[in-house]
Amino acid sequence: MAGLMYVPDPDPQWRVARDGARCRDQRSGRGTCGAPAGVELHNGAGSVWPWYAYCDVHAASRGHWAEDGQVLTWALRHADGSVLGPAEARKAQAVLAARMEGGECKPHHCARSRCHPSLRHTYSLRLRGDLTSDADLAADDSGAASTAAWMTMMMEAALGYLRCPRCDQRDEDAAPVPVRLGDVTGSRTWGERVAEAAQAVEDQHPRHEPVLIGADVTVPAPVVFRPPIPATVPDHSAKKGRRAS
């Protein structure tokens, strides 16, 4: 935008990570990233986890990075470095949003086509209120890290695959694991069966094979209908050539 530019700016809500901290970014509802963390985000004083740690990759997906002992983010400023006023900031955000719709990724400041597929983006969905409530309950029952993680797992299963949370998704060889549909009759829910298949994918790491959703269907041997065994046919060979007296 004319007259504006992005400049690195310290974010007081973030800090450099403690020694030994591990990234807590959720990976499709099946555990956390676990990579060495570089930065931490303040999550509120009353939270069970007041600081959330992120590795360099997942921090960058949120537009933050560590440099010279502090955590920086991109801030929009005038060309002379002065801060935008409230009205100017709102207008600038509207322009950026329009650009993002046109293919520009705002969080990563690049074309969306250049963003790695494993990096997350925010999408808006219009859903029924009771649907989101049911999804929240199902996510809690399944043990998923969040409703978004549970929905991601369900969407993957509906598309015919599941991703291993222990594989580095930035690796081109980390292909999704195909799923096959088995016998899903019975009292168990679809969510329980998908969660079981997702756990099977994780247990296979690092060598993956297609997994089954539901029970394996054993195909019975085909039934062959045979006609009844015929009665013994009398032997009339002795009567041949006999002359009448």
Which tens digits make up the pLDDT trace of 69-108? 999 988 888 878 788 888 887 777 776 665 555 566 666 6
* 8 Å CB contact between 175 and 207: no
20-34, 57-71, 99-113: least confidently modelled range: 99-113
* 8 Å CB contact between 162 and 149: no
Higher pLDDT, 240 or 192: 192
The predicted model gives 194-205 an average pLDDT of 91
Q: What per-residue confidence (pLDDT) applies to 44? A: 72
Task: Look up residue 168 and give its two tokens.
Answer: 């580095």
The predicted model gives 38-49 an average pLDDT of 79
* 8 Å CB contact between 165 and 152: no
55-64, 150-159, 221-230: least confidently modelled range: 221-230
Q: What per-residue confidence (pLDDT) applies to 110? A: 61
Q: Smallest Cα–Cα separation from 37: which of 26, 24, 48, 50?
A: 24
- Strand locations in the chain (E): 4-10, 14-16, 39-42, 51-54, 64-67, 70-78, 104-105, 110-111, 161-162, 177-181, 211-213
Q: What per-residue confidence (pLDDT) applies to 111? A: 60
Q: What per-residue confidence (pLDDT) applies to 162? A: 93
Report whether pLDDT(50) > 90. Answer: no
Q: What per-residue confidence (pLDDT) applies to 104? A: 63
The predicted model gives 43-71 an average pLDDT of 83
How many whole angstroms separate alpha carbon 21 and alpha carbon 40? 9
16: pLDDT confidence band, cut at 50, 70 and 90?
very high
Higher pLDDT, 217 or 116: 217
Which tens digits make up the pLDDT trace of 145-158? 888 889 999 999 99
Report whether pLDDT(1) > 60. Answer: no
Q: What per-residue confidence (pLDDT) applies to 38? A: 92
Determine the length of the chain: 245
30: pLDDT confidence band, cut at 50, 70 and 90?
low
